[in-house]
């Protein structure tokens, strides 16, 4: 049996994600003719044009691009795995050159769940490592400014303002980060990164009080990280 895995629109046309073809040995082209397509025809009709694999279609034979194995003439045999789908995207940073500058603002928040006793230590300023609020503020601001170094396709934009708020809850801490800029792209990722690092900073500051006898964290967890507000205003 030869396994054929389908991705993208081809999966919908065939009606299955995986097709098993009962063949001991054949060519890739003949294999494609053996896979029927919903509504008539075969996979060959969808994948091949002018005697070659269509542009915009990627075919891998056991992880190797079929073009390196002879294309449609590539030999395939029982036990082989064929993957067919859209080509891998080169990806990269989105070109924002033509976009106008606008006022941008985004607010993100998240919560870290802690023991109530730990929250009291924070409120009373008795955490051994020091002022949790101040540490969170510094860490979140630094994280906002470092976002392009963490997320490879984020633009290194000019940040004009960052606000960091920390709210004590009955069993945790909420961190909220607001980021402002006059730029060609939004700042929600910066707000999310700042929030995440702020919450991690809380964890680091109080981990001594959150561990159980085995050094685990049965109560501590970070949750509900989200963008709560986003704003864009035209200048002038």
In this predicted model, what pLDDT tens digit does every residue of 106-148 receive, in sequence order? 999 999 999 999 999 999 999 999 999 999 999 999 999 999 9
Between 5-9, 72-76, 81-85, the lowest mean confidence (pLDDT) is in 5-9
Please report the pLDDT score of residue 48 as a whole number: 92
Per residue in 27-79, pLDDT (tens digit) is 999 999 998 887 788 989 988 989 899 888 889 999 898 989 999 999 999 99
Mean pLDDT of all residues in 101-109: 98
* pLDDT band (50, 70, 90) for residue 194: very high
Tokens of 131: 């002022």
Please report the pLDDT score of residue 89 as a whole number: 54
Q: Which residue has the higher pLDDT, 88 or 134?
A: 134
DSSP string, 29-54: HHHHHTSB-TTSSBHHHHHEETTEEP
Please report the pLDDT score of residue 176 as a whole number: 99
Return the SS3 of 233: strand
Task: Respond yes or no: is residue 204 known to be catalytic.
Answer: yes
Which position among 45, 80, 170, 204 bears the catalytic label?
204
Please report the pLDDT score of residue 91 as a whole number: 62
Q: Does residue 66 contact residue 59 with C-beta atoms inside 8 Å?
A: yes
Per residue in 166-184, pLDDT (tens digit) is 999 999 999 999 999 999 9
Instruction: Report all structural domains of the chain as residue ranges with CATH numbers, in order of start.
Output: 2-85 (3.10.20.30), 102-234 (3.30.70.640)
Residue among 143, 18, 37 nearest 82 (CA): 18
Tokens of 204: 């680091």
Enter the DSSP assignment of 73: G
Please report the pLDDT score of residue 8 as a whole number: 80
């Amino acid at each position: 049996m030869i396994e054929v895995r389908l991705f993208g629109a081809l999966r919908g046309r065939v009606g299955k994600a995986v097709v098993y073809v009962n063949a001991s040995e054949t060519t890739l082209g003949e294999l494609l003719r053996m896979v029927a397509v919903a509504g008539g025809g075969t996979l060959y009709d969808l994948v091949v044009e002018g005697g070659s694999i269509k542009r915009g279609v990627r075919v891998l034979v056991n992880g190797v691009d079929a073009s390196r194995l002879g294309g449609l003439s590539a030999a395939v045999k029982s036990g082989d795995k064929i993957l067919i789908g859209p080509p891998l995207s080169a990806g990269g940073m989105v070109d924002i050159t033509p976009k106008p500058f606008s006022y941008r603002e985004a607010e993100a928040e998240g919560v870290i769940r802690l023991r109530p006793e730990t929250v009291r230590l924070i409120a009373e300023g008795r955490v051994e490592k020091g002022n949790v609020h101040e540490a969170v503020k510094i860490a979140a601001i630094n994280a906002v400014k470092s976002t392009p170094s963490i997320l490879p396709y984020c633009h290194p934009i000019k940040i004009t303002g960052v606000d960091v708020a920390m709210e004590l809850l009955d069993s945790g801490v909420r961190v909220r980060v607001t980021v402002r800029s006059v730029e060609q792209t939004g700042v929600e990722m910066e707000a999310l990164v700042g929030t995440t690092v702020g919450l991690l900073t809380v964890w680091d500051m109080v981990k001594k009080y959150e561990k159980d006898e085995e050094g685990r964290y049965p109560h501590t967890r970070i949750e509900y990280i989200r963008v709560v507000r986003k704003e864009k205003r035209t200048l002038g």
